[in-house]
Structure 1
Amino acid sequence: MANQVEPKLIPALFEQLQKERFVTLSTIDYETGGPNVNAISWIFAKDEETLFLAIDSRSRIVNNIKNNEQLVVTLFANESTYSISGKGNVAVDKIEGIPLKLALIKVAIYEVRDVMFYGSKIDHEPTYEKTYDKNAADRLDRQVIEAMKKA
């Protein structure tokens, strides 16, 4: 049912965010004050009220969050589209044990809204394929998700 609003993740969404997956992240651009949208895959729900994101430390996303903590994660799951609003902060500038310089963003969720338009459902969630060395990608993905689980 469209337009449901919750103060935290519902069980089905929490379960979907226990592994890497495609989402979009919207932040406020620190230079223009306008919206900034990025596709990311390193996301993990620590609990129903907390998300962790692993972001390249050089990314504009990091500066955006340092200047304005408001953000929205858009998730396609559970046959619908969800807007997860929260306040983000850079919890760690460089996650230890990862070969890339990744920042750990901690997101305190304050609203989860089903934003799917009335009378419809998602019948195919977005999928993606890594285009670089599959073994290296799988190893890195495991390292990043494990680091977020330990955070």
Structure 2
Amino acid sequence: MANEVEPQLIKELFEELQTERYVTIATIDHETGGPNVSALSWLLAKDEKTILFAADSRSRIIENIKGNRFVAITLVANESTYSIQGKAEVTTGRIDGIPLKLSMVKLEIDEVRDVMFYGSKIVTEPMYDKIYDPTAATKLDQQVMETLKKA
């Protein structure tokens, strides 16, 4: 998809967004009006035009989306880097059955843009480790992802 713009997720990106993964999200700061970038891992492509994600209900991400719905998610996948832009809406202020105070957000995709610089490809995708109790982390991740799948 080099240097192309699509109105929705291509098959490879849809498949990449069926499991928890590292992405960044850019929002418009509700106080300054400037850009704000945060990291997320709990997200799921519901279909080619919709991404659901969970974030702390008290986070700047949620406050920013309430003030301005325009967001961009940066995804490193498929040997490239993609900007997924659209309008987000907080659909659930507090997700029931999750021990953390999490909100659910729905992103309606307007465009997917390959933003990798010319003549290059990603050879190693970002990886991360959860540094708290592995059993608790696995349980929480499963709860959140199952909730997103059922939404």
- TM-score when scaled to structure 2? 0.99
How many residues are matched? 151
CA RMSD of aligned residues (A): 0.6
Equivalent in the alignment of 1:54: 54
Equivalent in the alignment of 1:38: 38
For 2:149, what is the secondary structure of its paired residue? helix
- Cα separation, 1, equivalents of 2:33 and 2:9: 28
Equivalent in the alignment of 2:4: 4
For 2:36, what is the secondary structure of its paired residue? strand
- Cα separation, 1, equivalents of 2:40 and 2:107: 14
- Cα separation, 1, equivalents of 2:100 and 2:46: 22
Query: Does 2:118 align with 1:148?
Result: no
Structure 1: state its 5+ residue gaps. none
- Cα separation, 2, equivalents of 1:127 and 1:4: 26
Equivalent in the alignment of 1:105: 105
For 1:113, what is the secondary structure of its paired residue? strand
Equivalent in the alignment of 1:125: 125
- Cα separation, 2, equivalents of 1:46 and 1:145: 11
Alignment identity in percent?
Answer: 64
Does the aligned pair in 2 maintain the 1:42–1:54 contact within 8 Å?
yes
For 2:143, what is the secondary structure of its paired residue? helix
Query: Does 2:29 align with 1:29?
Result: yes
Per-residue deviation, 1:2 = 2.3
Equivalent in the alignment of 1:95: 95
- Cα separation, 1, equivalents of 2:26 and 2:52: 15
Report the residue type matching 1:19 in the other structure: T
Q: Which runs of 4+ in 1 moved over 3 A?
A: none
Report the residue type matching 1:145 in the other structure: M
